[in-house]
């Protein structure tokens, strides 16, 4: 899992430019699925066919994209003004190193005449790529180019930290699940989605086309275990979280209860999660067509949307165990 996660988090892939991530994932799973293709939006869809005629069609989703900084203007001195792709905090990005798709790197800073750091906004910030003029900068970067955090994954004990854990950690869990499951009574449709960070867009279109019986997404969630953090009953290392609610959905009670039941049967540690802000691909899946019973397995993650998102090895491995346990058994939900 460590090598896979290091590979995935090191790939450039902001919203709308996920092709390199998609190619890497396809290489990892193509020998473990019955069908694999890319749809119009760029979602990677892989199918493990059912061994039973009575099984359910289950959509599993994890998003490939990461947040980024899109260039909006280049001033006469070669400094790049930018806007956000997804949820970018000016405090998280301040004085960070970023990289563009072509390999050009830069440092993010802010206008020093700012009197109150609490009033820092993205429109008071810039990217310095070392250019001395607009003309020199334009030879390296164009308007509309997107930069992402730059830096390799690191580890400390069972903790991994780096950029793009949101949601390459979820992608890694799905990849390992694809490889682990040998047989299932259900038709499993694994979807590695695009443009989640800008509105759950890939999940919205792919779920409409797939028309699943059940939807499960795997994404990161916040924790409440750091000094003076906002109170939240999720701790790093205490197991994957079974989502109850976030801003994009209230999880279907039968799907939530199924996750809890399977975890308890197998002795897999788990936590219950209520996320006050933010959403996941299941927020789009559950509203597809006439509605899809949906839930979420969440990976606890500190410092989400920063350059040093932190996850725990055991949470990742237990997420694979839980997801495998769910998918290898028949699923009975009243009304389906």
Enzyme catalytic residues? 196
Q: What is the DSSP string of 24-89?
A: HHHHHHGGG-SEEEE-TT--EEEEE--S-SS--EEEEEEE--B-EEEEEEE-TTSPEEEEEESS--
156: how many CB neighbours lie within 10 A of its CB?
8
Quick one: tokens of 79?
């400094």
N residues, the chain: 336
Q: Which residues contact 75 (CB under 8 A, 6 or more apart)?
A: 81, 126, 134
Quick one: tokens of 180?
């682990």
């Amino acid at each position: 899992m460590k090598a896979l996660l290091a590979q995935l988090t090191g790939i450039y892939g902001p919203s709308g430019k996920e092709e390199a991530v998609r190619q890497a994932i396809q290489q990892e799973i193509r020998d473990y699925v019955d069908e694999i293709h890319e749809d119009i939006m760029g979602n990677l869809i892989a199918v493990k066919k059912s061994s039973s005629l009575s099984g359910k069609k289950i959509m599993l989703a994890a998003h490939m994209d990461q947040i980024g900084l899109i260039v909006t203007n280049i001033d006469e001195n070669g400094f790049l003004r930018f806007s956000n792709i997804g949820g970018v905090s000016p405090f998280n990005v301040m004085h960070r190193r970023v990289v563009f798709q072509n390999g050009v790197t830069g440092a993010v800073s802010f206008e020093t005449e700012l009197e109150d750091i609490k009033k820092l906004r993205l429109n008071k910030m810039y990217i310095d790529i070392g250019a001395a003029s607009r003309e020199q900068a334009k030879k390296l970067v164009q308007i509309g180019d997107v930069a992402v955090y730059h830096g390799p994954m690191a580890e400390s004990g069972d903790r991994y930290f780096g950029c793009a854990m949101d949601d390459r950690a979820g992608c890694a869990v799905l990849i390992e699940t694809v490889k682990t499951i040998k047989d299932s009574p259900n038709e499993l449709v694994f979807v590695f989605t695009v443009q989640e960070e800008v509105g759950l867009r890939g999940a919205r279109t792919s779920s409409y086309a797939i028309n699943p019986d059940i939807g499960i997404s795997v994404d990161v969630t916040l924790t409440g275990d750091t000094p003076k953090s906002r109170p939240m009953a999720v701790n790093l290392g205490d197991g994957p979280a079974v989502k109850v609610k976030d801003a994009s959905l209230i999880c279907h009670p039968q799907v939530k209860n199924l996750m809890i039941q399977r975890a308890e049967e197998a002795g897999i540690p788990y936590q219950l999660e209520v996320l006050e802000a933010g959403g996941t691909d299941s927020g789009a899946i559950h509203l597809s067509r006439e509605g899809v019973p949906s839930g979420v397995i969440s990976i606890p993650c500190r410092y989400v949307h920063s350059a040093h998102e932190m996850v725990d090895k055991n949470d990742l491995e237990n997420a694979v165990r839980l997801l495998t346990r769910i998918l290898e058994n028949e699923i009975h939900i009243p009304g389906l």
